[in-house]
A and B are shown apart, each in its own frame.
Chain A
Amino acid sequence: MKERVLVAMSGGVDSSVAAALLVEQGYDVVGATMKLFCYGDDVPDRPCCSLDSINDARRVCQQLGVPHYVLNLESAFGRDVVGNFVDEYARGRTPIPCVRCNTFTKFRDLLHKADAIDASFIATGHYARIVDGALHRGLDPRKDQSYFLWGIHRAVVRRMLLPVGASTKPETRAIAHRLGLEVVAEKTESQDICFVPDGDHTKILRQRLGAEAPALSVGPLVLSDGRQVGTHQGYARYTIGQRRGLPGGFPEPMYVVDIRPNERAVVIGPRAELLGRGVVARELNWLGEPPALGANVLVQIRHRATPAAAEVVRVGADEIELALDEPVAAITPGQSLVLYDDTRVLGGGIIEAARRVRSALPILAA
């Protein structure tokens, strides 16, 4: 009997090819498109998640001769992903909703649906790989999406199939053409957050928090010594490392180096102030054993950031602190801290704070 796999299909080329490859490999494929967010009528040309995308996924499944379903996960997604997104911005942080969508929506809620239909596996079009039951980076460094997958429960990894993780994007498109999936083969990629279709995240913050919310209200732009150098239109418009929208007239290029929601302040400073020598993260999740104190690991603090060598100087159930061998710029609360051993994802957490000075390992009493 063929093993059943539930494939999460966005209507894009990656997940369509994932489904097609699994059909080729002899799996009993069931396609599913998650309906996560209702745009109303005003986003006709969004490449992903819209009604057109659902229809594309359905057409691909029809062509592959496999069933396709639309699963309404709107309320859970609204709670677990959108709600958190709004809360994080209100706290002056910069969240990554895709991480929580993977953790809760795709690899938890969707897995429950998979259980209900007796599917042994769940598959997506992510560029990451499962090797010997462990999660690894995708082979194409420009497409690697393993950074977004650290939060999934360790027991789920052995039920995951990531068929395009060993391909490059051009290879995936070539496979789409070879398999005759012309509907999706040349579709453009979605870069935005799916529920922020026009790239302006303040719109949904205004909807949920109200236009008068502190995060969207005027506040001071200050230097790290406290001197005010201007005003801003709401700290939720800023993220650590941002240069856009800052006043000029300084001897050096200036960056956002801190956000202080209690004072509604956005702190700006030169590049030197952007550098961190340590990082603290919470909301931890480990795909294997938690790293040991003193362990040397690679850490990534942002999507597409170069992995940095680090040492674990403190690790508990709820919090980890790493000392960085070299300074790293723009460590941003709300982003993910992901630990790697070479290409293998060890796990990660949500960045809580940067440390300006390097912490040392505690000296343990003999």
Chain B
Amino acid sequence: MPEPIYLDHAATTPVRPEVREAMEPFFGPRFGNPSSLHRWGREARVALDEARERVAVCLGARTDEICFTSGGTESDNLAVLGAWRARRAQGRNAVVSTPIEHKAVLAAVHQASREGAEERLCAMTTSCTVDTHSFDDLVRPDVAVASVMWVNNEVGTIQPIEELAATANARGVLFHTDAVQAFGKVTIDASRVPFDILSISGHKIGAPKGCGAVFVRRGTVLEPLFHGGTQDRGRRPGTENVAAAVGLARAAELTIAEHVEECAKLTAFRDRLERAIVAAIPDAVVHGRGARRAPHILSVSVPGTDSESLLMALDLQGIACSAGSACQSGSVTPSHVLTACGIRADIASASIRMSFGSLTTDACIDRVAAVFPTLVRKARGQSPMPAASAVGV
């Protein structure tokens, strides 16, 4: 079999060598607990503070606005539940979000709802962007927090965060954005855009799994998820994962430094593959085509196929892609994102997400462009089998 091709960078990325190198000392000689007063503690504390400062710079934030977490899911939960729990008693019991959020946000919103919150989800357009009129309508002064992802993880559409954050801001509503897929793909500047809380994840940008951060604008009160020590100003008790923080900072810096060049490269990959697929399969549906999209995600459905079969066929050719979201068993479920955007069920359950990044080369794109239409033809071909009604029904 030819060299395997990884087109699933939106799922996770390999740890960059520079990041591993930066983290290395903290597994060995610089193992100290940053809360300790002795020299080991001081060394760790300095590294942690530096990492915080470096992440802050990458987001246009101030150092004290960065809180390290275990990843995107924790950041999102802290944002949604932390904000709602802190504000529910102040006449702000509603939570606004969208039906296309990552499950980390959606499930946190549902949890708030189980605990008594009023849940309001925005209407979507068929281009997989938030209907801003609907957002405007739902974000009233009784809302504790509104949460809208910056870049959708399945389709890659960019949401109008500047506008939404300003709307929320004007009504005293905290605005959170899940920027896990946006970091390094769109410009994020906390000094320019009035979001209050923002989530990022390490493993999408070349840091290890299990690390992330949440930006919390100065003055924003969140109820912590955990209870324990006073680490990170009590926002996130627990001995800090210094190595992960250092790794995240290094990965974030590299990502920002390379951002312009990388985005140009990814856009070229995506556009070339998209053109090739549409040329070979004229009825292929490219999702979010009418909207602004982040350059690293291409989501396409071929009518008459299903994601599951096509993903298997691709994997057996050594090509790793994904569908909507996978459940714990590893099976594919129809995309809740596409369904929420009014995409027909048969099209939604045929979606394939190809996502590009550090492991993508021109040769990868060429090969996928050549193989994909062949596999589609096979997946569309019916076996010599009767319809359900013909056999013993």
Contact = CB atoms under 8 A, between A and B. Distances in A.
A70 interface: yes
B33 to A, nearest CB: 36
Interface residues of A, number: 34
Nearest to A51: B329
B339 to A, nearest CB: 13
Contact of B385 (A117, A153, A349): A153
A324 B190 CA distance: 84
A283 B392 CA distance: 4
Contacts of B379: 115-116
Interface in A302-329: none
Contacts of B329: 33, 35, 51, 54, 70
- Which among A30, A51, A72 has the highest number of chain B CB atoms within 10 Å? A72
6 contacts: A33-B329, A69-B308, A71-B331, A116-B310, A118-B313, A156-B385
B344 to A, nearest CB: 15
Interface of B: 305, 308-310, 312-313, 315-316, 327-333, 375, 378-379, 381-386, 388, 390-393
Contacts, number: 84
A115 B312 contact: no
Contact of B393 (A32, A51, A283): A283
Interface of A: 30, 32-33, 35, 51, 54, 58, 67, 69-72, 80, 103-104, 108, 111-118, 151-153, 155-156, 283-285, 349-350
A349 B309 CA distance: 31
A108 B378 contact: no
Contacts of B308: 69, 71-72, 113
Contacts of A80: 388
Nearest to B332: A72
B31 to A, nearest CB: 34
Contacts of B393: 283
Nearest to A115: B383
Contacts of A72: 308, 327, 331-333
Contact of B391 (A114, A117, A153): A153
Contacts of A349: 392
Output the residue of B327, B329, B384 with the most chain A CB within 10 A: B329
- Kindly list the 6 A-B residue pairs having the minimum CB-CB distance in the complex, ordered from nearest: A116-B309, A70-B331, A72-B331, A283-B392, A116-B379, A70-B330
B391 A108 contact: yes
A71 B323 CA distance: 13
B392 A285 contact: yes
A349 B393 CA distance: 10
A5 to B, nearest CB: 12
